[in-house]
Structure 1
Amino acid sequence: MNSRRNTSFEALLAEFGFTHEQLADEVNRTAQRLFDKPANCTDRHVRRWIAGDVQRPWAQYLLPLQEIFGTSPEAMGFVQRKSSKPLRAPVRSVWPKMPNPLQRRTFIAGALVTALGIDQTPGYGRLGASDINRIQGTIARLDAHFNGLGGGALVDVATDYLLRLQRALDQCTYGERVERALYRATAEIAACAGWSAHDCGQYERAAQLRSEALQAALLARDPVYVTRAWSDLAAQAEHAGRPAEAARINRSALSERHLRNQPLLSSLLHSRLADCLAQTGDPLGMGRHLAAAERTYDRAEVAGAPSWLGFLTHAELAGLAAIAHHSAGQYRQAEGHAVSALGLLDERFARNRAYYTVLLAELQLMQRHYEMALATASSIHADVVTSSRITARLEQVVTASRMQEGHA
């Protein structure tokens, strides 16, 4: 079985300030109170939960975890099975979180540096294939953390790692193959940091990081990473209110010959181009590229995809279609795609679940379904996601729904 790191659970530990040993002790104390006997939990159990080796702990551990964190197993990143017995609803956690937002963010960033292995980045000596493998493992964990929880503290952590890799490029020695691999890794980290900054609403910082990603990709002489960097810059232009420019960039990227062998990346570009065309008043073009995104995705080998494309599933395609129809003002169709996305979405993508739930609530609000929009928005576990952009939209839709409901 291929285990997936439980980044949601890992973030909860950092948020509440637990080490592995401290959480194990707290599970045992809580189990003693609940069952009159300890659970015999150890730090090894906690490490296995984080690593994803155990996708759903036994009830003797799961009930205490619910009591400690005050949230459901699914919000902790654990998997619901058909054979799973229903658990009682969690009480509100009495364990204090870090009260100061800046203190909390700094603490989580420090915990992530250690958890993701960033503090082990080589800074001198000769680098070889084993160093590249370790760096790729760290990149995969960074991507999984972003896909699971969003930007938040990750923007500072990823930027710090980018600086470490840039110092390694300047201060270490290596051969040509390792050099290209280092530049590819630098491009990947800069792109991850760019999306994390975007998720935090730091758009100028995101633009700078995305330009660094493009420069590193060009130095790596890797057309796939160059295409990724251009696509991210297109997303930057689209957010800045220049959808026609974004459409030109995506069209240019799709015309590259190497994309014939990259159906997954092509599918993403078609979806993003569809949204750009919707914003420029071309709904027919939008429809053509959404259909092309589905066709190319069906040809893709998803199992061997790079970690940064791990989010691109059938659920994400439905979500991107919802975004495009929303941009075209086709709210009913967009709502249908958003519902499909949420129905297909894997539990490990807590950030994207929150994003598409907010989008669904916004679409319901636009169709004057105020009570439904408020109920949808209220279903979000906002405390699990670290995207300030999503939480800001959530607050707006809740406020607007309550105001409109009051006037109804």
Structure 2
Amino acid sequence: MVSTGAVPNLAFRRLRGPRSAGEFAAAVRRSAREIGEQVACDARYIGRVESGEIRCPNYAYERVFLHMFPGATLADLGFSSRETVRGRGARTTAEIPDTPLPPTLQSDSDEESDVLRRVFMTSGTTAMAAATLGFGLGATAAAAAVPAQRPTQRRVGEAEVTAVEKAVRQIRLLDDRHGGDGLYRRAAQPLRAAYALLDEGTTTRGSTSDRLHAGAGELAISVGWLAHDSGRFEDARSHYAEALATARLAGDAALEAHAFCNASFLARDAGRPRESVRAAEAGQRAATPLGSPRLLALLALREAGGRAGLGDRSGCERALGRAHEAFGRGTRDADPEWMTFFREAELEMLEAQCWSALGDWPRAARHARRATQLQDPHFTRNLALYRAELTTDLAHAGAAAEAAAAGHQVLDLLDRVQSSRIRAMLAGAVGVLRAQRGSPEVAGLLERCAEMGV
């Protein structure tokens, strides 16, 4: 686990300069190739260094960093000495993910190509990995996942696979209730453990192997979503690419469709609408043979969102039409488990976002209002999200008093929901409403937002 006393590495952050974490990671990989090293550097690794989680790099990274910055020492780069970090007994599981990838998994392209990062390899047995999957399950379930008396276990079986699947469900449940901000760091640990099981489970075959690959991929998507919801877009993109690579390696079309679905959503939110459309289209191709109209409906909505971001109203309307047609065909046994959130309320919400992207604010507000009316209160995070969308649409449509009332409803939920995305949406709506601060309803919302730091 990461120490709560981690000190940010400001020296290393200054060396990155204006480059994004992903761009800097690509420069690290290029430098590694120049000296014959192999490192699996991506935006997540750079973030861990800058946050102080990695206090000293392993030897491979040390050689690369000193090559990149001639004449510098580790201290100049903001690192602690190896003796203070990794003396006897100091090598903990928090440091193990520094391990570089095998050469066969390296790629010369961008950070999304560094997939299937093999963590816990140097000392991670399947026993340790499965125990780590106790995230949110309680100590008893974690212990049951793998017996403590078998520390050298290599075979992965039903108990370990079930632990991965339970971790996925638990993360989704907590996210539905609380949002991603407080969960992301915790959820990264079971993800590493799941991929450690893939690394060491060489004797796993048949349906158990298929389930393990699917579970690890779904876990990568879930952790990616937590990163997405908490504003860590580069981390999310890396996690989704990891899931996509797992799907391709396992020949799992359902996992591939899910990865493309989330990648499309992320691209839309990150301001890359053309990429959003392409990912949604790829997801639809993967999903077509699966027999789930609801999955095709969601992917069509992802495409509609991307086309709206491009200003393509007619293309957006065509995609929305396909989404409604597929949704109207009802549920099927083939519908993926992760789609429990996709009900009529979500369809209305996603359509509202399309119209808001196209600047049709009254129409967007009608759909957002419908979404809030239909939403199951069990999905607390989504209820806050839909109300934030409604606040935004009403503010732009000129319905200041109603927008302020919706804004208060969002604030009522923020003590239970930790989502940077929702707070950013509400802050944007409040910015629009400031022009009408003379309204007593708006003035009251502005005052409360200031008190809550929104």
Q: TM-score, normalised by structure 2?
A: 0.61
1:397 to 429, 439, 450: 429
Q: Which whole-Å CA distance do the structure 1 matches of 2:170 and 2:205 have between them?
A: 26
Of the candidates 283, 287, 293, which is equivalent to residue 313 of structure 2? 283
Q: CA deviation at 1:153?
A: 2.1
> Is the alpha carbon distance of 1:385 and 1:241 closer, same or farther for their aligned partners in structure 2, counting shifts above 3 Å?
same
Other structure's SS at 1:346 match: coil
- Corresponding residue of 2:33: none
Is 2:392 the counterpart of 1:362? yes
Question: Is 1:344 equivalent to 2:374 in the alignment?
Answer: yes
Aligned runs of 1:294-373 on 2, under 5 Å? Answer: 294-301=324-331, 305-373=335-403
| SS of corresponding position for 1:132 | helix
Q: CA deviation at 1:127?
A: 2.2
Alignment of 1:154-233 (within 5 A): 154-177=183-206, 178-233=208-263
Q: CA RMSD in A?
A: 2.5
What is aligned with 1:386?
418
Does structure 1 retain, via aligned residues, the 8 Å contact 2:225–2:236?
Answer: yes
Change (3 A) 1:353 1:143: same
Contact 1:132 1:181 in 2 (8 A): yes
Instruction: Report deviation, 1:246.
Output: 1.6
Between the aligned partners of 1:149 and 1:303, the Cα distance in structure 2 is 29
Determine helix, strand or coil for the equivalent of 1:241: coil
State the distance in 2 between where 1:397 and 1:161 align.
36
**Residues 370 and 405 of structure 1 are in contact (CA less than 8 Å); yes or no, is this contact kept in structure 2?**
no
Which protein, 1 or 2, shows the higher relative CO under an 8 Å CA cutoff with sep ≥ 6?
1
Compute the displacement of 1:126 (Å): 2.3
Offset, 1:172: 3.8
Kindly state the Cα deviation for residue 130 of structure 1 after the two structures are TM-superposed: 4.1
User: What 5-or-longer segments of structure 1 have no aligned partner?
Assistant: 1-109
| Contact 2:177 2:416 (C-alpha < 8 Å) held by counterparts | no
Q: Closer, same or farther in 2 for the Cα pair 1:259/1:321, shift >3 Å?
A: farther
- Rg larger in structure: 2
Q: Which residue of 2 aligns with 1:113?
A: 135
- Distance (whole Å) between structure 2 residues aligned to residue 266 and residue 399 of structure 1: 36
Q: Does 1:129 align with 2:151?
A: no
Q: Cα distance 1:336–1:116, how it changes in 2: closer, same or farther (>3 A)? A: farther
Deviation at 1:301, TM superposition (A): 2.4
Counterpart pick for 1:262 among 281, 287, 292: 292
* Alpha carbons of structure 1 residues 152 and 221: separation in structure 2 relative to 1, 3 Å: same
One-letter code aligned to 2:382: N
Distance in 2 (alpha carbons) for counterparts of 1:260 and 1:308: 15
Q: Which residue in the other structure is 2:175 paired with?
A: 146
How many correspondences in the alignment?
298
CA gap of 1:258–1:221, structure 2 versus 1, over 3 A, is same
Cα gap change, 1:134 to 1:260, in 2 (>3 Å): closer
**Pairwise CA distance, 1:198:** 0.7
* Equivalent pair of 1:273/1:286 in contact (CA under 8 Å): yes
SS in 1 for 2:203: coil
CA distance in 1, matches of 2:322, 2:223: 29
Q: Does 1:248 align with 2:248?
A: no
The aligned counterpart of 1:9 is none
Q: State how far apart, in whole Å, the 2-side matches of 1:327 and 1:403 are.
A: 21
| TM-score, structure 1 as length reference | 0.67
Q: CA deviation at 1:232?
A: 2.0
- Report the Cα distance in structure 2 between the residues aligned to 1:352 and 1:218, rounded to whole angstroms: 31
Match of 1:36 in 2: none
Deviation for aligned residue 1:260: 5.5
3-state SS, counterpart of residue 378 of structure 2: coil
Contact 1:180–1:219 (Cα < 8 Å) also in 2: no
Mapped partners of 2:381, 2:138: distance in 1: 19
Query: Shift in Å at residue 305 of structure 1?
Result: 3.8
Distance 2:271 2:321 in 1: 25
Deviation digits for residues 67-115 of structure 1 (CA, Å, limit 9, x no counterpart): xxxxxxxxxxxxxxxxxxxxxxxxxxxxxxxxxxxxxxxxxxx9x9344
Gaps of 5+ in 2: 1-131, 443-454
Instruction: Flag the 1:273–1:116 CA change in 2: closer, same or farther, 3 A.
Output: farther
Whichever residue aligns with residue 339 of structure 1, its letter is: R
Task: Give deviations 1:103-147, integer Å, cap 9, x for gaps.
Answer: xxxxxxx9x934467845548442223432343233222222222
Equivalent pair of 1:144/1:307 in contact (CA under 8 Å):
no
